[in-house]
Structure formats: structure tokens, C-alpha cells
């Protein structure tokens, strides 16, 4: 299994959550993906390995992935770590997330009981900077078709264990992507076979100010990555003659556009209320008008018009309603 690093305060917690795994033989390959603080990382790994005892020390490997003359992306970092392993199963853990002690045991057991499955996934908890859970997501069984079409959500990468043979068959992570690379990988994996669900919440996904998925710039980058990889997967499915899979991915992309359009309207209303980030919000709104205008304006109207009392309590008055109306007639010119 591999970890990619962003040199954050939660690195030690992530490593400890691996050394606490029970019931399976594991090897932890930690990838220093050309960080600017390799000595600090090595010191952190050494400290956690020492406190974990001799049983863990020999199973933790820190490797540096630093190609000369350029900064490697997260996909390259993941692939670098995977190539150094040889186990039948591969799992993934970013340096600010954690696994519960039974994570590997439960998911590997599920895969052994479902020899035709290409991977197993579980539910998890959202945790804050202090490690306290504040929300959770389930992991109900779903078919590959349900996930490819977007009718059911795909698992998060830290909640997934993959058969090495399946990952090798699809070429692991595509180095063209450094945002959304995990989702792109999972969609290609679903083209190989089914995933089996373990319903328990066995991972902790940390939310904190340093998350790469926060803010307007990250939202835009993720939206563009989603568009790019889904469009490419649709084209590849059509080229391979797999028209049913292409149709499912088209449905998925349409649903994703609608969800992203609703987020952009939410951002626009927030920017209008706070008078902050309005330029970014307008650019996001222009994208939404191009790709999913019905979802964009529908969400705006549902938030502003039917619930006037709530809108007034939130500080949304006639200005916000007028801005929504303006968006319908003018934002198309920003596209």
C-alpha cells in the first residue's frame, strides 16, 4: 500500500493507522513525492516506526520520487510506490487520512470471499483536524453499472483495496491527471469488474484548511478534471465499441454537471451575500450556464424564491434575486 505526502501535521497519524492494522500481513511504502523537507519526513517515519516496535520497523519503506528537472504529479507518486510492492492487494492512504485498525482485515476478507471482484470498499467518517468525527458516509453494495452511470457514488480512494492483477491490467494511475486521478482510476477499474462493499465506517477522511479540494480555484480544477477524464473515457469506450458503457458515462457526466452547477449557484449566492470572491463566482456561474443551466437556475430559485423568510434571515434580499435574474440573461456572454 502507498502513501503520498504533502508534508502536513497529520503524517504521523496516517502512518500509525497502518502500523495498527491487525489480522493481515502488510507492507507500507511511503512515497516522498519530491517534497521540500525529506529529512523531516524521514525523521517522522523513523519516530513512528520506533514507537511501533520491531514488528513494524522492517515493514515500512520510505522512498523518494524526484525525477530530475521536474516536479512529479500525484499519479506518478502513487505508481512509483505501487511498483515497489509485490502483494496481491493494494490500498492507498494520503498523509492526512487514517484507517481504522480493522480496515485491511475486513476488506481483504471480503475480497477473498468474492474471488471475481476487482476490489473492495467500505464506508467512512469525516474527521476534523483533531481527529473527531463530525459526519459519515455509507457503503452499500452497488453494481459497476450503477457506479459508471453515476446512479451510485464511487468509493473514495482511501476506502478501497484493489487486486494488484486488476490494477496492472488497466495500467494503474494515469499520469496526465493530478486532480481527479483517483476517480478516473476507479472508473477504469469498474470496466474490469465489480467491487464488493463492506458497510462499516473503517476510514477517517480528514477535512482541514489544507485540503486540496477546498476553495474556488480547487473547485474549478476539480470540475475541469472531471470533464476531461469523463469525456476521454466516453471517447475510449466508443472507440472500443462498448456503446453501453459509453452511454452510462454520458449519463454520469450529465449528473455531475448538474451537481457542479448547483455548487456554482451556491457559491454565487454566498459571494453576493458576503461581497467576497464575486469574480470567481461569476466565472463558475458562466461555466454552469453553458453546461447545466436548468440545474444552475433551478437551485438558485429553490434557495431564494420559495423560502423568503429563510432568505431574509440569511441576508439574501432583492439584490440576490436580481442577480439570479441577471445571470439568466447576461452570463451566457461570459461563456
What is the maximum alpha-carbon separation in the chain? 67
What pLDDT is stored for residue 46 in this prediction? Answer: 87
Does residue 156 sit in the same domain as residue 222?
no
The predicted structure's pLDDT at residue 207: 87
Global pTM value: 0.86
Do 149 and 247 belong to one domain? no
Q: How many domains does the chain have?
A: 2
Same domain, 11 and 148: yes
> What was the pLDDT predicted at 166?
98
Of 180, 206, 232, the residue at which a domain comes to its end is 206
The CATH number covering residue 191 comes to 3.90.550.10
Co-location of 164 and 76 in the same domain: yes
Range of the domain at 192: 2-206
Domain stop point among 206, 236, 253: 206
If asked whether residues 251 and 314 sit together in one domain, one would say: yes
Asked if residue 240 and residue 141 are part of one domain, the reply reads no
Task: Looking at the structure, tell me whether residues 6 and 145 fall in a common domain.
Answer: yes
Full DSSP string of 158-205: GGEEEEHHHHHHHTSS-TT-SSSHHHHHHHHHHTT--EEEEEEEEEEE
210-250 pLDDT per residue, tens = 555 557 888 899 999 999 999 999 999 999 999 999 999 99
Digit-coded pLDDT (tens) for 66-112: 988 788 999 999 999 999 999 999 999 998 899 999 999 999 999 99
Residue stretches of the chain with pLDDT short of 50: 1-8, 308, 310-335
Residues 186 and 236 in one domain: no
* Three-class DSSP category at 275: coil
Whether 211 is in a domain gets the answer no
Same domain? For 179 and 321 the reply is: no
130-139 pLDDT, tens digit per residue, is: 889 999 999 9
Place of cell 476506502: 159
Count of H-run helices and E-run strands, the chain: 14, 9
Separation of alpha carbons 285 and 334, rounded Å: 9
Contact 84, 61 (CB under 8 A): yes
Instruction: Measure Cα distances from 52 to 20, 47, 77 in Å.
Output: 8, 9, 25
Are 165 and 88 found together in one domain? Answer: yes
One domain, residues 99 and 145: yes
Amino acid at each position: 500500500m502507498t502513501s503520498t505526502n504533502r508534508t502536513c501535521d497529520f503524517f504521523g497519524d496516517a502512518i500509525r493507522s497502518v502500523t495498527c492494522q491487525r489480522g493481515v500481513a502488510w507492507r507500507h511504502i511511503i512515497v516522498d513525492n519530491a517534497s521540500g523537507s525529506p529529512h523531516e519526513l524521514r525523521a517522522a517515519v523513523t519516530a513512528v516506526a520506533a514507537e511501533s516496535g520491531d514488528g513494524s520497523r522492517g515493514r515500512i519503506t520510505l522512498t523518494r520520487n524526484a525525477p530530475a528537472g521536474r516536479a512529479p504529479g500525484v499519479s506518478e507518486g502513487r505508481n512509483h510506490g505501487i511498483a515497489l510492492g509485490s502483494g496481491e492487494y493494494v490500498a492507498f492512504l494520503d498523509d492526512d487520512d487514517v484507517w481504522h485498525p480493522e480496515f485491511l482485515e475486513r476488506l481483504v476478507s471480503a475480497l477473498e470471499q468474492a474471488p471475481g471482484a476487482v476490489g473492495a470498499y467500505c464506508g467512512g467518517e469525516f474527521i476534523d483536524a483533531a481527529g473527531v468525527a463530525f459526519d459519515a458516509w455509507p457503503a452499500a453494495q452497488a453494481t459497476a453499472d450503477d457506479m459508471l452511470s453515476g446512479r451510485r457514488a464511487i468509493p473514495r480512494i482511501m476506502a478501497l483495496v484493489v487486486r494488484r492483477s486488476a490494477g496492472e491490467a488497466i495500467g494503474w494511475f494515469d499520469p496526465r491527471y493530478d486532480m481527479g486521478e483517483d476517480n478516473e482510476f476507479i472508473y477504469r477499474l469498474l470496466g474490469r469488474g465489480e467491487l464488493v462493499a463492506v458497510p462499516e465506517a473503517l476510514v477517517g477522511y480528514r477535512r482541514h484548511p489544507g485540503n486540496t479540494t477546498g476553495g474556488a480555484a480547487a473547485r474549478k480544477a476539480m470540475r475541469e478534471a472531471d470533464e476531461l477524464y469523463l469525456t476521454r473515457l466516453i471517447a475510449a469506450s466508443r472507440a472500443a465499441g462498448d456503446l453501453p458503457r459509453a452511454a452510462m458515462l454520458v449519463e454520469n457526466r450529465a449528473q455531475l454537471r448538474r451537481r457542479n452547477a448547483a455548487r456554482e449557484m451556491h457559491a454565487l449566492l454566498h459571494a453576493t451575500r458576503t461581497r467576497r470572491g464575486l469574480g470567481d463566482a461569476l466565472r463558475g456561474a458562466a461555466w454552469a450556464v453553458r453546461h447545466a443551466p436548468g440545474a444552475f437556475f433551478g437551485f438558485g430559485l429553490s434557495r431564494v424564491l420559495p423560502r423568503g423568510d429563510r432568505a431574509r434571515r440569511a441576508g439574501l434580499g432583492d439584490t440576490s434575486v436580481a442577480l439570479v435574474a441577471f445571470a439568466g440573461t447576461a452570463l451566457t456572454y461570459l461563456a
